[in-house]
Structure formats: structure tokens, C-alpha cells
A = this chain, B = another copy of it.
Amino acid sequence: MDADISGMLIFSIYLNVMPNLTLRDMAKALGLSVSTVSKALRDSYEIGAETKKRVLDYAQANHYFPNRMAKSLKEGKSGSVGVVICSIDNNFVSRMLDGIDSACTKAGYDLIIMQSKESLSQEKSCIRQLEARGVEGVLISPSSETVDFAHLSDVRAMGMPVVLFDRIGDRFGSYQVGIDNRDGAFRATQHLIANGYKRIAMLNIGPGIHFAMQRSRGYADALEEHGIPYRDEYVHVCGPLAGEALKGAVTDAIRSLLALPEPPDALFTATDQLSTFSLRALHERGCRIPEDMALIGFCNTELAPILTPPLSTVYQPAFEIGRIAAEKLIGLITGKEHPDHYETVMLPIRLDVRESSRRKASASA
């Protein structure tokens, strides 16, 4: 035993490495067998109180902690879940991740996060790697390229639960958690109508993006319900663009809206970036908000209240989406949810009404 210790010291001096204690090390040190030590640590009824105490004390004193790789291999499960998102560098996404982490931490699962960067092939590779890592389930917000879900059904067919979040749809039967986009757009539009606006324009992205189409529907439904005709010239689809290109498209759209013989008196922007770019474009053209044009948008920034004017927004419960999706996944993993009973949870949005859409001055009622 002395020899052991001095060997350890030398090891430590030369390599600055003190290898982790294993069950075998402890068994040898205590003159017990590996299985006894293992059972003692797991508080098995088979082990005597005194032995248990000896083992526990020794483990504590020497900072033993079990090797999870070995445990995972042995048990065939890793205690971790995989998350595939397009980009972590996004406000909305990080709030969802926070929710996911909250549920997973509570249930004792670790998170392995991978980014697909909106690429289907990267998404497939992420799934592959997560599978190889032995994650017990996958949470995924599919890339915009993902129209075929074979890679997800494959992985599920192998017994791995999959839950879609945020970017949900009807293309893939599965547990899904997202928001009710149609309803959000409906309520935003309705709010403008209620505040006296009648010529309501919409900026959207698309075409073919599921959530965007839902939002278009909500907009159209609200107009119809209030007997306001849908005007094509009030609706702009600013392509599936990003960065400067999108900004240019928004600027053009705003310009043409303002140039109409009968320009709109309110604007509903269907995404985060459309909202902020629109705000900027309207500012640049000297358009007063909300006097010349009211504005409400889907928006995920906490900065909405400090914009000028404070921006009315459709607030999406990102944290909750993540939390609920993760809870569903864990339910599936632990067998509390039945894997074949697919369910889609659509969380309601919250309307945060601020200055940019306040009641129209000229409105009578």
C-alpha cells in the first residue's frame, strides 16, 4: 500500500496527473472486492452498515466519482440528450435552449448541442454523431432545407425518441412543440384593426416556409373576419434572404408600400428581422410611427421596449417551448409517454402592446 502511494506521488510529480480512482483501486485499498464496493456506493441492501461506511468515507476522502463512460457503456444509455438547432447565435434559440437545459438538468440529463447551420447534410451528420454518442433522445428544430425527414424516421425506428420544436409542421409525424403561428398573426392583425387601422399591410418571408404561411393565414383570416378586403398590393414576401439582401428587400417593400396611391396605415411584420429592418426603413423615409404607420411585429428582442417608439410585438414563449419539448422527450425516454401517440403542442403567443401600434388618433371608436 505504501508502494502504491509513493508510486502515485511520483506519477503526480512527473506528469502532473492524478488518475481518477476506480472501483478496483478502492477495492484494493480497502481489502474488499470490486462488487462489494460498487454495491456499497449504490447503497445496496446486501452490504453491511459498517462496510458501507468504510467505503463511503474512503470514496469521499479520495474524491472518487464514477466514470460515466463505463457506466454508459454498461447500461447502454448515456444520460444525455442531443439538441440540433440551426444556429446558437440567435436570441430566440438561446432562450429555447435555456428552457431545454432547465428541464434536462432537472431530470439529470446532459445536453449535447449541435448546429446544422441550415444545412440538411449537416443536420444529418449531427444526428449521426448524436446517435453514435449514445444520446437517449433528440430534440431538433429542422433546417430550412429539410423537406425529407427520412433521417429522423430512421433514427426513431431504431428506438430513439425524437421531438421537434419551434419549426414544426405536418410533414413529419412526431411529438412537436411550437407556437400557434396562425393565432399569433391573427391576434396581431386583430389588434391593429381594433385600434382603428384599416389599411393593414404585411411583410412576410417565404415562400414555402411553414410557419410563415401560417402567419399569412392568420393575417388573412383576421382581415376576413372583420370584413376588410385582402389587397395583394399590401402584402410583400421578402424572399428567404438573410443579412443585407433581406434588408434591401425590406427597404424596397417599404418604399413601394409608401408609394401606393392609398398607402397602408399599419404594418404587420412576420419575423424578427423584418420588424427591425422595417422600423429602420420607416425611420429613414421620415415616416412617423404610429402617426403615419403603425407597426407590430413578431420579435424576440428584449430591446423592443427601448426602441423608438417602443415596438409592439408578438412575444413567443421561447423558454417554454424548449422546456416543454424537453419534458416530452424525457417522458418518451423514460417510457412515460407512448412513442406512437404523436402530439403537437402549440403554445399561445403573448401580445405585448406598446407605442408603435397605439390607437389611431383619427379613429372614432
Q: Is A66 an interface residue (CB 8 A)?
A: yes
Task: List B contacts of A301 (CB < 8 A).
Answer: 301, 303
Contact B98 A87 (CB under 8 A): yes
Residues of chain A at interface, number, CB under 8 A: 60
Q: Is A306 an interface residue (CB 8 A)?
A: yes
Q: Is A4 an interface residue (CB 8 A)?
A: no
Contact B69 A16 (CB under 8 A): no
Contact A158 to B88, CB < 8 A, known contacts A134-B69, A276-B306? no
Task: List B contacts of A339 (CB < 8 A).
Answer: 16
Contact A18 B308 (CB under 8 A): no
Listed stretches A52-60, A125-133, A257-265; interface member:
A125-133
**Chain B residue with minimal CB distance to A273?**
B302
**Separation of A308 and B78 alpha carbons in the complex (Å):** 50
**Separation of A204 and B364 alpha carbons in the complex (Å):** 48
Contact B18 A159 (CB under 8 A): yes
Contact A88 B94 (CB under 8 A): yes
Contact B65 A16 (CB under 8 A): no
Contact A110 B94 (CB under 8 A): no
Contact A110 to B88, CB < 8 A, known contacts A20-B158, A303-B276? no
**Chain B residue with minimal CB distance to A304?**
B303
In the complex, given contacts A88-B94, A301-B301, what are 8 additional A-B residue pairs having Cβ atoms less than 8 angstroms apart? A16-B339, A65-B131, A68-B134, A69-B72, A73-B73, A93-B94, A101-B115, A110-B112
Binding site for B on A (CB under 8 A): 12, 15-20, 63, 65-70, 72-73, 78, 80, 87-91, 93-95, 97-98, 101, 105, 110-115, 128-129, 131-134, 154, 157-159, 276-277, 279-280, 283, 301, 303, 305-308, 319, 339-340
Can you pick out 5 interface pairs between chain A and chain B where the beta carbons lie within 8 Å of each other? A18-B157, A69-B78, A88-B94, A88-B97, A303-B303
